[in-house]
Amino acid sequence: MIEELSHQQILRYSRHLLMPEVGLQGQLKLKNSSVLVIGTGGLGSPVALYLAAAGIGRIGLVDYDIVDSSNLQRQVIHGTSTVNKLKVESARDRLMDLNPDIQIDVYNEPYTSENALRIAKDYDIIIDGTDNFPTRYLTNDVAVFLGKPNIYGSIFRFDGQVSVFYAKEGPCYRCLFPEPPPPGLVPSCAEGGVLGVLPGTIGTLQATEAIKVLLGIGEPLIGKLLLYNALDMSFDFVKLKKNPNCRVCGPNADIKELIDYEEFCGVPGHHADDTSAGAGWDITAQELKERLEHDPNLLLLDVREPHELEIAAIKGAKNIPLGEVAQRMSELDSAEEMIVFCKRGSRSARAIEILSSAGFKKMKNLKGGINAWAEQVDTSLPLY
Amino acid sequence: MTTLRIPTPLRAYTSGKSEVNVTGIKISEALTDLTNQFPAIKPHLFNEGGELRPFVNLFVGENNIKDLQGVETPIKDGDKIMLIPSIAGGVS
C-alpha cells in the first residue's frame, strides 16, 4: 500500500488534487488501484490512455493482435511507427511514455475460458473493450464469478452503449442480453464500419466510470444503460434491472463456471477463418481468375453496399446488398452458376446460406472477398 | 401516435429511418404496425414462431418491457419506444 505521493507526483496530479472529490486521498486510492483492460483497440485505446494519465497504479492489457494501418483511424494508442508490432507492446510503450510512474502488465494472448480467471483475479475492475460476442460473455461471466465491476462499452457505426455491470449491486450483461444474436444477423464493424471518433467517446466514458467506481464518487451507471448516437448527438438512459432468471447472477443460476463461449455464440474460434463459407462452397481468387478466362460470362454477385462499389469493384458484377438478397432473389436464376463475393467473404457466406435455403445450389463464395481479389489478381484495386 | 426509435444496425431495414411513427395501444400492436410498414425488419425482431427474439430489448421510456407486461405493455400517445440492439464491435 503506497501511502504518499512524491513531490513530482503531486505536481503531475495537481489538477486532481485540487478537487475535493479526488484530493490527495483519492489520488492515493487510484495509485493503489488496478484495472484490467480487455482489448487495446478502439475502446481500449482511450480507456488505457486516460487511466494511465489519471495515475491508476497498475493497468493490465490483454490483446493478441498486431497493429494494422487500418486500425489507426480510431485506435489512437498506436501509431504509424508501431504498425506490425504487437498491440500490447505498442500500447505499453505509449503508456509508459505518458506516465512512467505506473505499472503496465501485458498479456499477449487471446482472453479465453482457460486463462481469464487467472488473468483477472488480481485486478479491482475489468473493462470490456472487446470486439466480439464470445469475449463479451466471457468478460461478463468472469466479472460475475470474481465479484468485480465490469465497465461495459460497445460500438457500431454511430451507436454506442455504456454501462457498469456489477452483479453484487445490480444487473449483469446477461440480465440484459441473455443470449447473443445468431451470427450474421448483426453486421460487424469490420464489415459495417465505425466512425473513428465513436470508440473515443465511448471509451472515454468507460474510463470515467472506472475512475468513479474506484474513487467511490458520483453515480456510476450501475442499473443504467447509456445509449449514444453520434449522428443525432443523442444520449438516452434506460433502467436495467436484475433478471431473476439470469443464468449467471440470478438466484437460480445454473452456469457456475466458464463455458465454451464460441460454441455458446455459434461462432468460430479465435483463429478460425471467418472469411470462408465452409467446406465445398469456397473458390479462391486465383481459381476465379482461371474460371473467368474460360467463362467470361460467369455471373458474379456482389453483396456489398452500393457505396462500397466506389472503393473497389469487379467489372460486370451484379450488386444486390446482403440485406436485399432475400427480397430480390427472383432476379437470380438458380440454374445458372454464380460466384458470390463481398469485402472479406463473411457477408457473401451469409448470402449463400440465404440462397441455399431457398434452393440455390450452383454457388461459390469468393474466399477472402474482393480484398483477396485485389491482393492476388487485380492489384490495381485498393485493399480496405 | 407513438415514436419508435430504430438503432443504426436495423436502419438498413427501415429505409434508413431513425424513428418510425407507429400506432397501437400496446407494444404488440406497435410492432405489427412497424413490420407492416417495413416487412424486412421482421426476421430481425421475431423468430419463426412469431415470438420476440431474446436478444431484442424494447424499452418504453426508461423501462424494459420485460420488466413490465412484455408485448402486452400498454402504450399511449407521445410515448417513446426504443429498440436496443445487441452490438459487439469489430468482429462478427
Pair (A249, A308) in one structural domain: no
B24: closest CA of chain A, how far (Å): 22
- Which range is least confidently modeled, A22-36, A39-53, A157-171, A190-204? A190-204
Q: What is the tens place of the pLDDT at every residue in A282-323?
A: 999 999 999 999 999 999 999 999 999 999 999 999 999 998
Distance CA A160, CA A203 (A): 10
Nearest chain B residue to A137 by CA: give it: B88
Tell if the CB–CB gap between B90 and A132 is shorter than 8 Å. Answer: yes
- What is the average per-residue pLDDT within A6-19? 97
Task: Indicate yes or no: CB of B89 within 8 angstroms of CB of A232.
Answer: no
Residue ending a domain, among A235, A265, A295, is A265
Euclidean distance between CA atoms A71 and A48, whole angstroms:
16
**Number of domains present in the structure of chain A:** 2
Residues A63, A120 share a domain: yes
> Are residues A172 and A243 part of one domain?
yes
- Domain assignment of residue A300, given as a range: 282-376
A362 in any annotated domain: yes
Shortest Cα distance, chain B CAs vs residue A231, angstroms: 10
Alpha-carbon span A88 to A111, nearest angstrom: 13
Interface ipTM: 0.91
Q: Are residues A158 and A288 in the same domain?
A: no
Which of residues 23 through 82 in chain B touch A, CB cutoff 8 A?
40, 44, 53-55, 57, 59, 62-64, 66-67, 82
Q: Are residues A210 and A340 in the same domain?
A: no
Q: Of A277-281, A326-330, A363-367, which range is least confident?
A: A277-281
Least confident of A14-18, A156-160, A274-278, B13-17: A274-278
How many degrees, rounded to 5, is the angle at CA B52 between CA B48 and CA B56? 120
Of A130, A177, A187, which is closest to B86 when you measure between CB atoms?
Answer: A177
- Quote the CA–CA distance of A98 and A91 in Å, as a whole number: 11
Residues B47-68: tens digit of each pLDDT: 889 899 888 899 999 999 999 9
Chain B residues with CB under 8 Å of A321 CB are 12
At residue A272, does pLDDT exceed 90?
no
Q: Is the pLDDT of residue A34 over 60?
A: yes
Range from A71-80, A92-101, A202-211, A342-351 carrying the lowest mean pLDDT: A342-351
The helix, strand and coil proportions of chain A, stated in percent and rounded to the nearest 5, come to 35, 15, 45
A46-60 pLDDT, tens digit each:
999 999 999 999 999
* A1 domain residue, yes or no: no
Which of these, A14, A97, A159, B78, lies nearest to A6 by C-alpha position? A14
How far does Cα A97 stand from its chain's mean position? Answer: 26
* Interface with B, mutate which of A63, A73, A240 (most B CBs under 10 A): A240
Task: Examine the domain organization and report whether A75 and A204 are in the same domain.
Answer: yes
Q: Which of A155, A231, A323 sits opposite B89 (nearest CB)?
A: A155
Q: Do β-strands A103-107 and A58-62 pair in parallel, antiparallel, or remain unpaired? A: parallel
Q: For residue B2, list its beta bridge partners.
A: B22
- CB A154 to CB B89 under 8 A? yes
In sequence order, the 6+-apart residues with CB closer than 8 A to the CB of A315 are: none
- B1: pLDDT confidence band, cut at 50, 70 and 90? confident
- Is the CB of A156 less than 8 angstroms away from the CB of B92? no
Range in A192-196, A332-336, B42-46 the model is least confident about: A192-196
Q: What's B39's DSSP letter?
A: G
Measure the CA dihedral A324/A325/A329/A332, to 10°. 110
Q: Tell me if A181 is assigned to some domain.
A: yes
Which chain B residues are closer than 8 Å to A326 by Cβ? 40
Confidence of residue A268 (pLDDT cuts 50, 70, 90): low
List pLDDT tens digits, range A118-153: 999 999 999 999 999 999 999 999 999 999 999 999
CB contact under 8 A, A323 and B90: no
Say whether pLDDT at A1 is over 90: no
B40 contacts on A by Cβ (under 8 Å): 323, 326-327
For residue B10, what are the contacts with CB-CB under 8 A and spacing of at least 6? B41, B44, B83, B85
User: B12 in contact with A at a CB cutoff of 8 Å?
Assistant: yes
Q: Is B88 within 8 Å of chain A by CB?
A: yes
Question: Residue A189 falls within a domain, yes or no?
Answer: yes
Give the model confidence (pLDDT) of A205-232 as tens digits: 999 999 999 999 999 999 999 999 998 8
**Shared-domain flag, residues A179 and A319:** no
Is A300 domain-assigned? Answer: yes
pLDDT at A350 (0 to 100): 87
Average pLDDT in chain B: 91
Closest by CA position to A250, among listed A170, A313, A180: A170
Task: Kindly report the CATH class assigned to B2-84.
Answer: alpha beta
Nearest C-alpha in B relative to A152: B88
A3 within domain boundaries = no
pLDDT band at A327; cut points 50, 70, 90: confident
Q: What is the CATH number of the domain that holds A49?
A: 3.40.50.720
Helix then strand count (H, E) for chain B reads: 2, 5
Question: Rounded CA gap, A125 and A151, in Å?
Answer: 8
Positions of A marked active-site? 189, 342
If pLDDT is split at 50, 70 and 90, which confidence band does A266 have? confident
Report pLDDT for A323.
84
Same domain, A237 and A338: no
pLDDT of res. A313: 96
Instruction: Clarify whether residues A258 and A349 are in a common domain.
Output: no
Tell which of A265, A300, A325 closes a domain: A265
- Indicate the residue type of A135: T
Q: Identify the band that residue A276 occupies on the pLDDT scale cut at 50, 70 and 90.
A: low
Give the pLDDT confidence score for residue A186 in this predicted structure.
65
Q: What is the mean pLDDT of chain A?
A: 93
Question: Is A275 within a domain?
Answer: no
A236 and A306, same domain (yes or no)? no
pLDDT number for residue A275: 61
Residues A335-346: b if buried by 16+ CB within 10 A, e if exposed: eeebbbbbbbbb
Instruction: Report helix angle A369-376 to A285-294, nearest 10.
Output: 80
Q: Is B84 in contact with A227 (Cβ distance < 8 A)? A: yes
Contact A181 B55 (CB under 8 A): yes
Q: Region A90-111: what's the mean pLDDT?
A: 97
User: Per-residue pLDDT averaged across B69-73, rounded?
Assistant: 95
Q: Where are the domains of chain B?
A: 2-84
C-alpha separations of A70 from A73, A132, A342, A379, B87 in Å: 7, 18, 18, 18, 21
CA A214 to chain centroid: 24
Nearest CB among B18, B40, B57 relative to A232 is that of B18
Quick check: helix, strand or coil at residue A36?
strand
pLDDT at B6 over 80: yes
| pLDDT interval class at B92 (50, 70, 90) | very low
Which positions in chain A touch B85 (Cβ < 8 Å)? 156, 159, 186
Whole-angstrom Cα distance, residue B17 to residue B7? 9
Helices (H), chain B: 27-37, 42-45
Cβ-based neighbours of A64, under 8 Å, separated by 6 or more: A87, A108, A109, A110, A270
Q: Decide which of A193 and A20 is more confident.
A: A20
Verify that A248 and A306 share a domain, yes or no. no
Is residue A344 assigned to a domain?
A: yes
pLDDT at A279 over 80: no
**Is residue A242 packed enough to be buried (19+ CB in 10 Å), middle (13-18) or exposed (0-12)?**
middle
> Looking at the structure, do residues A187 and A295 belong to the same domain, yes or no?
no
pLDDT in the model for residue A278: 66
* Cross-chain Cβ contact B62/A43 below 8 Å: no
pLDDT at residue number A271: 46
Q: Tens of pLDDT along B18-39?
A: 999 999 999 999 999 999 999 9
* Alpha carbon B8 to chain centroid, angstroms: 13
Domain final residue, candidates A265, A294, A310: A265
The mean pLDDT value for B4-17 works out to: 88
List, in order, residues 6 or more apart from A160 with CB less than 8 Å away. Answer: A153, A154, A198, A199, A201, A202, A205, A226, A227, A228, A229, A230
The A residues from 69 to 108 touching B (CB cutoff 8 Å) are: none
Match 484490467 to its residue by C-alpha cell: A36
b/e B44-75 (16+ beta carbons within 10 angstroms → b): bbeeeeeebbebbbbbbeeebbbebeebebeb
- Whether the full predicted model's pTM is greater than 0.80, yes or no, is yes
> How far is residue A58's CA from residue B54's CA, in Å, rounded to a whole number?
38
> Of A102, A104, A94, A91, whose CA–CA distance to A65 is shortest?
A91
CATH number of the domain encompassing residue A346: 3.40.250.10
C-alpha of A340 from chain center: 27
